[in-house]
Amino acid sequence: MFIDVPSELEAALIDLPIPTWKLDGSFLAKSTMERYRRELTTAPRFEETTATLRRALAGEGGGYAVLRLGNLAKALGPDDDRFLRLVTGFAAEVAVPFSPFPRWPLWKDIGVKVDKDPGKSSGIGYNAFHMDLVNGTLPPDYTTLLCVRPDPLGGGLSILSDAHAAVARLSEDSRALLAESAYHYGTFFDLFGVGEEYKPFPILKGDPGEGFVRFTAKMLERSELSQAHAKAARELAEELTGGQVSFMLQSGDYLIVNQRRFLHGREALHSGQEAIPASDRRLLLQLFLRAPASDSAAA
């Protein structure tokens, strides 16, 4: 699931002219996607690399990938606009980039705030398994994270788990409870492109092994659930943890997660974050992707 960029592609991309993107509402404009594709496909082995990326995300047994763009990040700067445009071009080969948050730009900063809820994405603690925008009727098909800076103290491993494999290990009784519209989590306001609020929602819907597993472990502490429904959700959380993979994102690593297959989270950052200047702490940039309707299974 780790994809290295061929050296000849890296060399070509460093000098490739990539224009500033334009948006259509909160979505990357079709004209921009077409322009990026025209430019990028002139680079040697670009199409081969993106085909490998798509297979890793949607092929049998797949569901996430890390595109290793560290050499490009080093050459251009990990937060340079042109590097970000190149990464956006790779993302657009998977699905349509968009921002569900009108108040944020296309890419959203996820920095580290020591006074934030530790379990939040910008906190310093363990961020339990979840899917993003779990309570929208149309969650993003893909969530993506570009690492600008890892934790300089060595913490914050990314964790992922095959949601459908975890569900398959549960008892029929637990799966039946998870299929009931008895779950809810979070608030829902000032969002774009993710449908309407879904409350309550089932964690499982449709055929086994298909569609979203609408789960966030945070609901176990922050939502009022019946004892039986909470127990089933807790069992799922344990199975997710038991089947997890973990790795450290380095500068320039671009993680893409197919939310219909995998859930994600983060181990705690290393202690001592207070002593690190805010400008030197871990920094990720987040981008969401919407697959064409023909590529999406029932939610």
Q: What is the pLDDT of residue 265?
A: 98
Q: Which residues of the chain are under the pLDDT cut of 70?
A: 293-299
Q: What is the pLDDT of residue 103?
A: 86
Contact 157, 247 (CB under 8 A): yes
Q: Hey, where are the domains in the chain? A: 2-291
CB atoms within 10 A of CB 42: 10
For residue range 145-175, what is the model confidence (pLDDT) as tens digits? 999 999 999 999 999 999 999 999 999 999 9
Q: Tell me which fold the domain 2-291 belongs to.
A: Double-stranded beta-helix (3.60.130)
Q: What is the pLDDT of residue 294?
A: 56
